[in-house]
Structure 1
Amino acid sequence: MGTTDRIGDLPPPYREVVFDCDSTLSTIEGIDELAGGLAAELAELTDRAMSGELPLEAIFGARLERVRPTRAGVEALGQRYVETLLPGARELFAALGAAGVGVRIVSGGLALAVRHVGRELGLAAERVHAVELDFDEHGNYAGFDATTPLACAGGKPRLLNALGLARPAALVGDGATDLEAAVAGAVDRFVAFGGVVARDAVHSAAAVRSNATDLRGLAPLLLSEAQREALASGPHAWAGR
């Protein structure tokens, strides 16, 4: 039995939809943006982890130790995330909310930066889940929350289960950590997203895939026909098409 055979898929409607951040809502990978002259080296490690070649815990803390991001740098990254949101992100989040669907961001990115995305997309702070950093009194890097499941392989499904998602629920993401959540049954539909980068190992294992470069293209995968018809007038009319 292949991985795809183990991934259940339940079509919409959903009570909650979860999004990854890096290379899903935004076109960038945050840690690579912070890396400066180390960017090429760390980008290779990031890609290998997100493709499932390396366990996340093998690189997560090591990347941060190499980069040692400052508070100011991570705040600037948050603004960069907002500047590089995919087209249609705001509209899709608004349509999901109008349809009564709860939305979360669950990311292995840095919480201080990812919260900028949540605010831009209208999410309450408690619906944004990412990795917390520690800084000293001068704003210099002083470590990360090593207890977070988001910094290790298999951690995303553990966190999703701990959150007690309202089911049925869907997850949209590009990486191996997102695929793990689907294999573990932590969500009812996994959309392997390739609108920024299509990772072969993830796409080949997923039952549902999208290479949409405008996130409004995900609406048929996340909203039922009845929900889309109900949105067919007013500011969300595009969802009903």
Structure 2
Amino acid sequence: MSFEVVCFDCDSTLSRVEGIDELARRGGLFEEVAALTNAAMNGELALEAVYGHRLDLIKPDKAAIDWLADLYIAEMVEGVAETVKTLLDNGKQIHIISGGLRQAILPLAALLGIAEDHVHAVDVLFDDAGHYVDFARQSPLAVSGGKARVCRRLRMHHASLVMIGDGKTDLEAKQAGAYMIGFGGVVARALVQEQADVFVADSSLTAILPHVL
């Protein structure tokens, strides 16, 4: 199959880390926060039940976000740069659709050649001193069903769209008529294996290329 638009999740898909969990680890809150993340990604809790709670616990300041941006790049999944370059060379429009923190994802996107306005994620709000104030609570990506909403918007302008990711929120893209490829190279979730249109267990992201070109 061939798709006009190729959308990637970020955490555990483009990068090996779960960003909010890593911010929690940095602040000594890893076990508490990671349990909430996992429950949401496995479909046991609604995303909105954990999203604000996790950030209220961590309160990531601007320095923490910059640290996470570097970590995303350092922990890039095998084959990401090659995969994105191949897709761009084939005229595909690439988007990142993530429930992660947008300012931390933008440097990774820039490195890969993905346009800033093609990065859909949740903005963090800081005060003038760089301290955490809040997150963009109106963002569709901080609640369940948000990835479907973003995919619906994109599909208004494009006939065919594929979403690649590891979690329950990525499966939501199917509600918007998107094709969904489950990527298990970092975390293989039973729910995604069962419900994705295709599931790729390879550790390299290049394994998705035959399914999208």
Any idea what SS the aligned residue of 2:176 has? coil
Compute the displacement of 1:167 (Å).
2.1
Query: 1:120 & 1:185 partners in 2: Cα distance?
Result: 29
Q: 1:198 aligns with which of 188, 197, 202?
A: 188
Q: Which amino acid aligns with 2:205?
A: L
Query: 1:150 & 1:18 partners in 2: Cα distance?
Result: 14
Structure 2 unaligned segments of length 5 or more: list them: none
Check conservation: 1:16, 1:165, Cα contact below 8 A: no
In the comparison of the two structures, how many residue pairs are matched? 210
Compute the displacement of 1:221 (Å).
1.1
1:81-120 matches, cutoff 5 A: 81-120=72-111
* Partner in structure 2 of residue 14 of structure 1: 3
- State whether structure 2 residue 17 is matched by structure 1 residue 38: no
* Partner in structure 2 of residue 173 of structure 1: 165
Any idea what SS the aligned residue of 2:147 has? helix
Q: Which amino acid aligns with 1:99?
A: N
Compute the displacement of 1:207 (Å).
2.4
Query: 2:33 & 2:10 partners in 1: Cα distance?
Result: 18
Residues 27/58 of structure 1: CA separation in 2 closer, same or farther (3 Å cut): same
Residues 165/60 of structure 1: CA separation in 2 closer, same or farther (3 Å cut): farther
Q: What's the TM-score once normalised by structure 1's chain length?
A: 0.85
Which segment drifts farther, 155-164 or 49-58? 155-164
Q: Which amino acid aligns with 1:166?
A: H
Query: 2:90 & 2:14 partners in 1: Cα distance?
Result: 20
Check conservation: 1:106, 1:128, Cα contact below 8 A: yes
- State whether structure 2 residue 23 is matched by structure 1 residue 70: no
Compute the displacement of 1:165 (Å).
5.2
Q: What's the TM-score once normalised by structure 2's chain length?
A: 0.96
CA displacement 1:132-177 (0-9 Å, x = unmatched)? 0100111010001111100001111012212345221111011111
Query: 1:59 & 1:154 partners in 2: Cα distance?
Result: 14
Query: 2:195 & 2:85 partners in 1: Cα distance?
Result: 30
Which segment drifts farther, 157-166 or 44-53? 157-166
Any idea what SS the aligned residue of 2:98 has? strand
Asked which structure has the greater CA Rg, the reply is 1
Check conservation: 2:65, 2:103, Cα contact below 8 A: yes
Check conservation: 1:198, 1:211, Cα contact below 8 A: yes
Instruction: Spell out structure 1 runs of 4+ moving beyond 3 A.
Output: none
Root mean square deviation, CA, Å: 1.0
Which segment drifts farther, 15-24 or 197-206? 197-206
* Partner in structure 2 of residue 128 of structure 1: 119
Q: Which amino acid aligns with 1:112?
A: Q
1:174-189 matches, cutoff 5 A: 174-182=166-174, 184-187=175-178, 189=179
Q: 2:209 aligns with which of 185, 194, 219?
A: 219
* Partner in structure 1 of residue 41 of structure 2: 50
Query: 2:71 & 2:107 partners in 1: Cα distance?
Result: 9
Structure 1 unaligned segments of length 5 or more: list them: 1-11, 224-241
Which segment drifts farther, 119-128 or 163-172? 163-172
Any idea what SS the aligned residue of 1:172 has? strand
